Structures are given as structure tokens and as C-alpha cells.
Structure 1
């Protein structure tokens, strides 16, 4: 005779699955980076390479600093955005940025990273597109954590979200180097 205290394993597994709340997942929300609608800092007449600095409002009112100089854009976040490592990071070639900024939010709704498409000038007049994943964190921990070639990877947005969700939280700005994820130009030449 079976003990009345033994619960069949299948019944237990089904009971726990039904009783356990569904795990919340990270999600995305979007804001616009339309520089004509942002606050521009006065230009420094002595800085010949500076194209401008703009302060835009991001998700939840977070400041977004966009700087352009020498035909390259640099984007950083937070009240001290100008001092963050992200303020000095860009992609290697001349570039412009997309107007849509994707914010990755953790299960509690806290922004943990952003994904922004950079349009690049490559050799021989070719154009490229790179998704730049930037970690958001406390002061000193806002930096690029990865890059995804948006033209070589048909699932580039999925790859970038995975990097934002899984690599960004543990990434240590200033100690680690942001790698390329997914297919790269080297893969295309093989």
C-alpha cells in the first residue's frame, strides 16, 4: 500500500508549474533621438573638430548626451554622461546615428542597457550598420559592451538584445573590452 504522504512525481511537477508565478522577462521600450528637439550646448569656437553636443531626454527622463566630432558620434547616458567611458566610445569609421534608441529593461522595469544603430562609412564608398550595446549602471559603469553587424546578421536585433540582457549586467567598464557578437566581416570573407 502506498504511503499517503508520497506525492506522485508527475503530480508534484504539474502542481509546482501551475503554482509558480511566471518568471518576468526583460523587455524593450523606445525613445527618439531627434537632435533638433534636444538641448544643444553652445559651440566652442576654438574646437575645430567639435560638431556639437546635445542633451536629449531618454527613458524615464534619463539624460542622453550625444556628441559629434570629426564625423563620428558618441552617445552616453546619465547625469554625469560627459564623464562616463561611453562619452569617448564610438565605432572606428565615420558614422551617424539612428533616431530610434532601444532601452532594455530588466524584469523590474529598470533600464540596464541601450541598443543604438550606427550607420558607418566603410572602404570604397560602402555603407555599414552596427548595433552598439551600451551598459547602463552606476557612475563609472556606463560603457559599450558589444557590437553587432546589422547587415551580416539577419537576427542582429535578437543578438543585440541577448548581449544587453546577459553580457551587460556583469560587464566591468574600464576593465573589459567590448567584443563583436554574431557574424563579423571576417566571417563574410571566409
Structure 2
């Protein structure tokens, strides 16, 4: 009798959990980090080409893009200063890289909890006819406030035909419970060349 009661309780709790997830209205909205949609903070250096655009995001957040020596960081915060202090602002991939200008904001009940952005990582072992490195695509999932802003998951866009779906699922499953500075970034799906390049230190 006790076992039956315990089983019924477990089933009930599971159903409540599923109902809670189902009750959340999950979705996506998009913003741009294209130069025309952002404002330039300071002046671009003619010596190293570094720039610091700040772009409008969602729910009062801004997206900070910093580029130096053909490498970028992307961070999010209530303003430029706070975004620059987040853990995401300290992540520089070793190879040359760049992020695409579309930012996908994953939301629960219209409140953003993660962003997804496509990055291109230069592969020095794979060069075009002009000797320039070809790039490999990867999706980066970044958690948002409350709490620190940091990378939580990488999805290789070439090795995984369903990369967008995997990234969205990772955002939902991982982002809000991820502890920046303690948890390791998750590699979601098949590990491809872009992820290998991005995780080289």
C-alpha cells in the first residue's frame, strides 16, 4: 500500500512538473548587431581596427560587441559598463572569429533568459585558393540575467543539421540553472571542427 502511494505521488509530481513546463510560453524574438542598428562607443582605432558597438536588445538589455585583432566577444547587460563586466566579455576564442549580426532571444513568458548567436571560427588548416582560412560555423548559447552572463553551450552548425533546434533546447534545459565560473560549457550534439577550434586554449 505504501509503495502504491509513493508511486502515485511520484506520478503526480511528474505531471505537475510537466504542466509547469507546458504552462510556460516559450518563444524567440530577434535583434540585430549590424553597424546601422548599433551606436559606436568611443572611436575605432586606426591602428588595430578595434571597435565597441552597443546594440539594443530586449527587455532593457543591450548587446556589447568588442572586436580586437580579428576576434570578437559578445556580452549582454543593462548598459555597456555592466555588459563589459560580465564573464561573457572575457571569453576570447583563440582562432580568428566573428559573430553574425542576428541575435535570437529565447524567452519564457516574454522574458528573455538566453541568446543564441551564430559564430564563424577560422580554421588555419583549411585554406581557400587565396590562402585565407575558411571558417566553420558554431552556435553559441549565452545565459542572461538575473545572474551572470556567460556561455553555456556550443553547437557545431555543420556537424548537426538540426543545430538550431539543439541550441534552443540547450537554452531551455541548461541556461537558467548554469553556474558561470563553475559549470563547464556544454557541447551539444555531434562535436565538429568548429567546436574543436573554439575550445582550443
Unpaired runs of at least 5, structure 1: 1-19
Pair 1:162 & 2:169 matched: yes
| Aligned twin of 2:113 | 112
> What does the per-residue CA deviation read over 1:45-96, in whole Å, with 9 as the maximum and x for residues that have no partner?
5x95561111110123411111001211101011210000011114332111
Structure 1 CA distance, aligned partners of 2:75 and 2:150? 8
Q: 2:141 aligns with which of 122, 128, 133?
A: 133
Alpha-carbon spacing, 1:76–1:185, altered in 2? closer, same or farther (3 Å) = same
Higher alpha-carbon Rg:
1
Alignment partner of 2:176: what SS?
coil
Counterpart check, 1:65 vs 2:73: no
Gap regions ≥5 residues in structure 2: 1-18, 128-133, 194-201
Alignment of 1:179 with 2:179, yes or no, is no
**Aligned Cα root-mean-square deviation (Å):** 2.3
Q: TM-score, length-normalised on structure 2?
A: 0.74
1:159 Cα deviation from its structure 2 partner: 0.4
In 2, the alpha carbon distance for the partners of 1:81 and 1:118 equals 19
User: Which has the larger helix fraction?
Assistant: 2
How many pairs align? 165
Of 119-128 and 75-84, the range deviating more from structure 2: 119-128
- Give the match for residue 94 of structure 1: 96
Q: Is the Cα–Cα contact under 8 Å of residues 25 and 110 in structure 2 kept in the other structure?
A: no
Distance 2:139 2:92 in 1: 11
Q: TM-score, normalised by structure 1?
A: 0.78
